[in-house]
Amino acid sequence: MTAEVKRMLSEIGVDDGQIRSEAFGGGIATVATNGQAIGAATFTHSGKSVALRSGQTVLDAACSAEVSIDHGCRAGVCGRCKVRLLSGDVEMHASDVLTPRERTSGLILACQAKPRGNVAVEA
């Protein structure tokens, strides 16, 4: 829902730098939509791709591409946003809900995963 509100605010002309969000349950989620271009996110199930900006999460990118990824807390706590990273590299500040087996099988938390360049995600 937060991503949708941010998208709507952007559409009515609110500057991205003026949009802030807060997530409860473990941290503050921020969305940087005005960062430097770093590549593209490809969502293999939906067949959609979207440009990535530095600081943007996989979930933010999915929302902007209108790709549905289940999510809840946006703080790396609930684990509802687990998706498989098929290629590329991401940085995650919070990922304690992922088991070692999930990590080695390529699962990431879309709400926490910030791509370092081009990524392909199973969504």
- Interface residues with ligand FES (CB under 6 A) are 71-74, 76-81, 109, 111
Measured from the CB of residue 101, what is the shortest distance to ligand FES in angstroms?
17
Measured from the CB of residue 116, what is the shortest distance to ligand FES in angstroms?
19
DSSP assignment string, 1-12? -HHHHHHHHHHT
To 10 degrees, the CA torsion angle through 105, 25, 54, 104?
A: -10
Residue 70 or 89 with smaller CB distance to ligand FES: 70
CA distance 97 to 6: 26
Residue 81 or 123 with smaller CB distance to ligand FES: 81
CA distance 13 to 89: 32
Measured from the CB of residue 48, what is the shortest distance to ligand FES in angstroms?
20
